[in-house]
Amino acid sequence: VPNLFLQGAASFLHCKIGSFPFIYLGFPVWANPRLVSTWDPVVNSIEKRLFSWKNRYVSLGGRVVLINSVLAAIPVFDISFLKIPTK
């Protein structure tokens, strides 16, 4: 795509010119889903949320509810067709 056209389209649409892959909703867009490293941001995001909970402050039932809410917040529809690779 010619650079002049790209700049004009970005100006008209009020957006930035970027490159692939980029992060959208915590998931790298246009990255190779077969690579384990592609899934690192998603796994790190889930781990960060899970590790912030303290066992002594949240009951087992409360942890189940919290885990379900975190998993429900992940853009499941967008990644449902991708298979997460095993190491």
| 7 vs 80, higher pLDDT | 7
Mean pLDDT of 4-27: 85
Q: Does residue 9 register a pLDDT over 80?
A: yes
Dihedral of the alpha carbons of 84, 25, 80, 43, in degrees to the nearest 10: 30
Residue 76 has a pLDDT of: 67
Q: Does residue 12 register a pLDDT over 90?
A: yes
Residues 6+ apart with CB under 8 A from 63: 53
Q: List, for residues 20-79, the tens digit of each pLDDT value.
A: 777 777 677 777 778 888 788 778 887 887 777 666 677 888 888 888 887 787 766 666
